[in-house]
């Protein structure tokens, strides 16, 4: 049986639909709020959820996500409690793909085999280790393969040649195309090279290509699809919505935002 991530992406492609993959920081804004946010995103039509493991030095993340990480860590949330939240999500949404985004330090601290096994047992389908270069992926690759996790690999407009081929060959589930070099965050413009990078990735893999880092509006999502993306990953904007709405308004705002992205990308695709 195909894994949840691969199967979901395949079904979307067969339907001609694009994927919206929202990002949440595990445990943010608090345990209850995290679950409510996840439910709202699913209701809005999220194809999958990307779950960020809070880390004290998230070098690839902008201030919005970094502040969320710090808030969760300051609350005293442990790794086991974060894993518990993943298990709750899995029970709530048995068929929804869940992909983990983490830095390598927490993986090493727990021990590579145990960390990956615990994540798999909690319900994780895919994993992105942000600061682990492909040259060092051999440290985790045997365990990832053994557990049947999908390595969701990052590429950027600066990734080219043999390195791009290597990364695409290692990837599974989908390829995560970073829309610009640098940190995540809200951005009104994108590099002109993005379209070229998308085409280059297409030459190397048949996997879906999702664009992330800086997607904050329906217009940007539509533009990504026009360039050839199979969907978008949205992080900072999701956290921003959580931060800017009270507990009662937040779920509705998240549902509306995700459904709006889906409609925008569908409109672009049909037209």
Instruction: Tell me the catalytic residues.
Output: 50, 61
d(CA 216, CA 214): 6
Say whether 126 sits in a helix, a strand or coil: strand
Distances in Å between the Cα of 38 and the Cα atoms of 12, 14, 211 are 20, 26, 20
How big is the CA angle at 38 (ends 33 and 44), to the nearest 5 degrees? 125
d(CA 246, CA 259): 20
Strand partners, 239: none
Residue with tokens 């339907």: 15
């Amino acid at each position: 049986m195909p894994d949840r991530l691969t199967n979901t992406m395949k079904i979307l492609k067969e339907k001609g639909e694009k994927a919206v993959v929202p990002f949440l920081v595990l445990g943010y804004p608090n345990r209850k709020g995290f679950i409510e946010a996840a439910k709202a995103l699913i209701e809005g039509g999220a194809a999958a959820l990307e779950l960020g493991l809070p880390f004290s030095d998230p070098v690839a993340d902008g201030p919005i996500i970094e502040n969320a990480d710090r808030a969760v860590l300051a609350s005293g949330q442990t790794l086991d409690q974060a894993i518990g939240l993943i298990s709750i999500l899995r029970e709530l949404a048995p068929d929804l793909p869940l992909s983990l985004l983490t830095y390598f330090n927490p993986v090493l601290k727990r021990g590579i085999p145990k960390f990956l096994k615990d994540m798999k047992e909690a319900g994780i389908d895919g994993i992105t280790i942000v600061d682990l270069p492909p040259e060092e992926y051999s440290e985790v690759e045997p365990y990832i393969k053994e557990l049947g996790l999908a390595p969701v690999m990052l590429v950027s407009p600066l990734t080219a040649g043999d390195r791009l081929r290597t990364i695409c060959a290692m990837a599974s589930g989908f390829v995560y195309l970073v829309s610009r070099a640098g940190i995540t965050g809200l951005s009104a413009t994108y590099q002109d090279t993005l379209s070229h990078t998308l085409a280059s990735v297409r030459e190397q893999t048949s996997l879906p290509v999702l664009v992330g880092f800086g997607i904050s509006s329906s217009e940007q999502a539509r533009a990504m699809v026009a360039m050839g993306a199979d969907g978008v990953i949205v992080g900072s904007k999701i956290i921003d919505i959580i931060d800017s709405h009270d507990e009662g308004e937040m779920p509705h705002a998240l549902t509306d935002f995700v459904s709006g992205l889906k409609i925008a990308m569908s409109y672009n695709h049909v037209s």
